[in-house]
Amino acid sequence: MQKLEVFGSNKLKGQINISGSKNASLPILAATLLSNKKIYLRNLPKVKDIDTMINLLKSLGSKAKFVKKNLIINNFYQDKKFAAYKLVKTMRAGILVLGPLLAKFGNAKVSLPGGCAIGSRPIDLHLKGLSKLGVKYKIDQGYVHAFAPKGLRGSKIHFSKISVGATENLIIAACLAKGTTTLTNCAIEPEVKDLTNFLIKLGCNVKWIGKRSIKIVGVSDIKQATYSVMFDRIEAGTYLIAAAITEGNLKIKNIIPGLLKTEIDILKKIGVKIITKNKEIKIIGNKKIKSLNIKTAPYPGFPTDLQAQIMALLCKAKKDSFIEEKIFENRFMHVAELNRMGAQIKTLGNKVLVKGNINFASAELMATDLRASVSLILAALTAKGKSTINRIYHLDRGYEDLEKKLKKVGAKIRRIN
């Protein structure tokens, strides 16, 4: 099993180019099932979750191949409606094939999803929404057996809770439903907007009619399309924090700074110098990190996917900070590992008290989920000596060439078997 060795105490300096968004690519890949024509996707990140989703599409009968940096998908012969556990178990996004399969065929059998063990993350909002479109379902032996006897029909659906996955699944499904569907209390993450932009390119009739409301008129014909996926907000935020925690000086390129406003504002409050340009951010770290109280929240709030990373940074603050996790109930598994490095973090239900003024010590560590694994790397970058991070297959699910990018800006990091 592979692991990473990190030798700390180096300031990061240079330029990092941000890859395409994993969280935008996955629903877009699922949405390609709506089409029987060729689709060309650009800027997909080279990460494990993308490979898994492509393999899931292939298992459903899709033809997919990379030509240079473009993925060409052809669903002309796609006719299977069974998404197996072995492909869905490793990532939450596998459930996103349920909507398009039901829209296209009127029935599907899809495994309940897996992914990082950061909370229960039930799919009840997905199923309640689909039932409003005319879907009947049962859950048996870990699979959702769903069918729409009269096809999908438009409806008014209000999400009782903001959910990125449920919003995406219902948007995709409604594109082929008969009539008009209105979705309210939707997630408005940029990755959701990227999905709707892609669907519009396919010829779907999707329109945002309010801050959290979408109107979808079902269509019968899907076009051939070429689409470039947006940049990865979480990767960009991770490297911004990497510059801050190492007192570094980085240029983060291939981004849209406006989509990182919350993260930028918080880093400025903490004491980091940030200069934004058209498609780049320059960030200069500061020895004096200010304490801050942070709550995770749906966009445009502070993202839960950066909670572990900002926690590592706040350990370096001069005073204590609080972080409240409002999205997932089990997303503090990195706390124990950071404490092994000398942090003094105390868990209080869905909050943590982060004691400041900590100098991290090198240690052997265990990654527990995707974002936790990178928080340990951030801490290790500031520790004297060698830290070893085990179970980095979590990391490979969502970060493209992380050690290569960090090496390029001065980190001492290597992957070993």
What secondary structure letter does DSSP report for 83? Answer: E
Band of residue 76 on the pLDDT scale cut at 50, 70, 90: very high
Specify the pLDDT at position 121.
Answer: 47
Pick from 34, 26, 76: which is nearest to 55 by CA?
26
Q: Does residue 117 carry a pLDDT above 70?
A: no
> Which of 32-36, 271-275, 368-372 is the least confident region?
368-372
Q: Does residue 122 carry a pLDDT above 80?
A: no
Active site residue 116: yes
Polymer length of the chain = 417
Q: Does residue 148 carry a pLDDT above 50?
A: yes
Pick from 66, 63, 68, 99: which is nearest to 83 by CA?
99
Sign of the four-CA dihedral 33, 36, 41, 45: positive
Find tokens 């099932």 and name the residue. 33
Pick from 356, 332, 330: which is nearest to 343 by CA?
356
Specify the pLDDT at position 114.
Answer: 64
> Domains plus CATH for the chain?
3-19+231-416 (3.65.10.10), 22-228 (3.65.10.10)
DSSP states along 142-184? TEEEEE-TT--B--EEE-SS--HHHHHHHHHHHTTSBSEEEEE
Give 91's contacts (C-beta < 8 A, 6+ positions apart). Answer: 26, 49, 52, 53, 113, 114, 115, 397
- pTM confidence score: 0.96
Average pLDDT over residues 251-268: 98
Q: Does residue 372 carry a pLDDT above 90?
A: no
Q: Active-site residue among 116, 186, 204, 315?
A: 116
Which has the higher per-residue pLDDT, 397 or 27? 27
Specify the pLDDT at position 90.
Answer: 80
Q: Give the pairing of strands 107-111 and 143-147.
A: antiparallel
Sheet holding 280-284, edge to edge: 13-17, 249-253, 280-284, 273-276
Q: Give the SS3 label for residue 279.
A: coil
Distance, first Cα to last Cα, the chain: 6
**Cα separation of 104 and 302, whole Å?**
36
Alpha-carbon Rg for the chain, nearest whole angstrom, is 22
Specify the pLDDT at position 201.
Answer: 97
Average pLDDT over residues 191-205: 98
In whole numbers, what is the pLDDT of the chain averaged over residues? 94
Q: Give the SS3 label for residue 366.
A: strand
Specify the pLDDT at position 119.
Answer: 39
Question: Are residues 10 and 384 in contact, defined by beta-carbon separation less than 8 angstroms?
Answer: no
**Cα separation of 35 and 409, whole Å?**
42
Helix-helix angle 22-31:190-201, to 10 degrees: 30
Q: What are phi and psi of 184, to 5 degrees?
A: -125, 160
**Cα separation of 349 and 307, whole Å?**
15
Cα–Cα distances in Å, from 240 out to 157, 269, 302? Answer: 38, 14, 14
Specify the pLDDT at position 9.
Answer: 86
Specify the pLDDT at position 118.
Answer: 35
Sheet holding 351-354, edge to edge: 294-295, 321-324, 351-354, 345-348
Specify the pLDDT at position 367.
Answer: 87
| pLDDT tens by residue, 20-43 | 999 999 999 999 999 999 999 999
